Amino acid sequence: MAIKVLSIFGTRPEAIKMCPVVKELNKRKNINSVVCLTGQHREMLRQVMDVFKLKEDYNLDIMKPNQTLSMITASILEKMDDIISKEKPGLILVHGDTSTAFVAALAAFYHQIPIGHVEAGLRTYNLKSPYPEEFNRQAIDVMTEFYFAPTEKAKDTLLNEGKSENRVFVTGNTVIDALSTTVTDSYFNEHIEWAKDSRLILLTAHRRENIGEPMENIFKAVVKLTETFEDVKFIYPIHLNPRVREIADKYLKSNDKIRLIEPLDVFDFHNFMKRSYLIMTDSGEIQEEAPSLGKPVLVLRDTTERPEGINAGTLKLVGTDAVAIFNEAKLLLENENEYKKMSEAKNPYGDGTASCKIADIIETYFKE
């Protein structure tokens, strides 16, 4: 009999990394794949589902403007009950470290359904950074039965925490599976045309712990860079969070070297990355994509759970001090050797077969 696998995700980054998994599960005859979106994100989630041409079976549609962590947690937990009771899956898959992932895992745990954690084993061991994601991922791994670790390093972390070795599988990161379907040589976009005679810096910033003064510092550094370097242009696809938009509008709106644009779909975003000179971001997932594309990234955070990209030389942890951000960007804009050192394409995250490996492991285990 086929094993029923319920995949639950709800934000843009989870969807980008879970759609390749769902596509692979759909191909397997021993697996009955069901997808539940929590709808923690709305438009930004739909963009991903559309690019991957996938349809969900359920959408809890919980998103509210300016939602708090408690609102997200309470509404997902309550709505998950009926779906899990109705579907009675043999396995629930969650991804990463969002509130959706944590609450879906909690709901699975309450129903005593085994949990598979895709992208398990990332840690900063600092509960304040990233917040609340570090708590989420640690808590999920207390409840998980199948750990799909992206790298050997993540596996070692899990083993050091005492997880049993026969439940930890190194699969690579499914983001590489996604990247292999999006990046293309023949790509045209009006914003890229606008920046074509300049060095393009792609900017994203959205983290909860950066909202407020840290984000203001980031934007001050960006403005100073536009004033200092004639040949630099910025494109910033702004997250739909109104609190982020307010700060971005205040600092960046009237600058003709900065384009504030709506969130790009993942196909466009990956192709923008490929055509950038440099990326400045507080995102997690972009830190995994950039090494494959050979694009230097200044990470606008105090910690990273992705040391692989630092070791590969592609990422530099810069924090959120305006002077430090300006100086690190200046270095890469002025010093060719420094730029070259960071811009060699290296991919520490596997060979694009992570989804296939995850589906194989599930099929094999549940056949037994």
Q: Is 99 in the site for ligand UD1 (CB under 6 A)?
A: yes
**133 annotated active-site:** yes
Neighbours of 189 (CB within 10 A): 14
Q: Is 70 in the site for ligand UD1 (CB under 6 A)?
A: no
Q: Is 274 in the site for ligand UDP (CB under 6 A)?
A: no
- Residues 264, 278, 356, 359: which binds ligand UDP (CB under 6 A)? 264
Among 8-16, 54-62, 142-150, 158-166, the segment contacting ligand UDP (CB under 6 A): 8-16
- Using CB distances below 5 to 8 A depending on partner kind, what does residue 266 bind out of ligand UDP, ligand UD1, none? ligand UDP
* b (16+ CB within 10 A) / e for 225-236: bbeebeebbbbb
Tell me: cis bond preceding 89? Omega within 30 of 0 counts: no
In the complex with ligand UDP, the residue whose CB is nearer, 223 or 240, is 240
Q: Is 38 in the site for ligand UD1 (CB under 6 A)?
A: no
CB 119 within 8 A of CB 150: yes
In the complex with ligand UDP, the residue whose CB is nearer, 9 or 269, is 269
In the complex with ligand UDP, the residue whose CB is nearer, 89 or 263, is 263
**145 annotated active-site:** no
H helices of the chain, where? 12-27, 43-51, 69-87, 99-110, 133-143, 152-160, 174-182, 190-194, 213-228, 242-252, 266-274, 285-293, 307-311, 322-334, 336-342, 354-367
- Using CB distances below 5 to 8 A depending on partner kind, what does residue 60 bind out of ligand UDP, ligand UD1, none? none
CB of 89 to ligand UDP, least distance (A): 25
CB 128 within 8 A of CB 207: no
Q: Is 348 in the site for ligand UDP (CB under 6 A)?
A: no
3-state secondary structure of 168: strand
Site for ligand UD1 in 105-144 (CB under 6 A): 132-133
Among 40-48, 292-300, 310-318, 339-347, the segment contacting ligand UD1 (CB under 6 A): 40-48
Instruction: Compute the distance between CA of residue 53 and CA of residue 59 in angstroms, rounded to an integer.
Output: 16
Tally the C-alpha atoms within 13 A of residue 320's C-alpha that lie toward its C-beta.
20
CB 82 within 8 A of CB 120: no
In the complex with ligand UD1, the residue whose CB is nearer, 96 or 362, is 96
- Residue (of 156, 260, 166) closest to 204 by Cα position: 260
Q: Is 263 in the site for ligand UDP (CB under 6 A)?
A: yes
- Residue (of 166, 112, 102, 93) closest to 135 by Cα position: 102
Q: Is 248 in the site for ligand UDP (CB under 6 A)?
A: no
Active site residues: 97, 119, 133, 206, 208, 239
Footprint of ligand UD1 (CB under 6 A):
11-13, 40-45, 63-67, 69, 72, 98-99, 132-133, 206, 208, 239-242
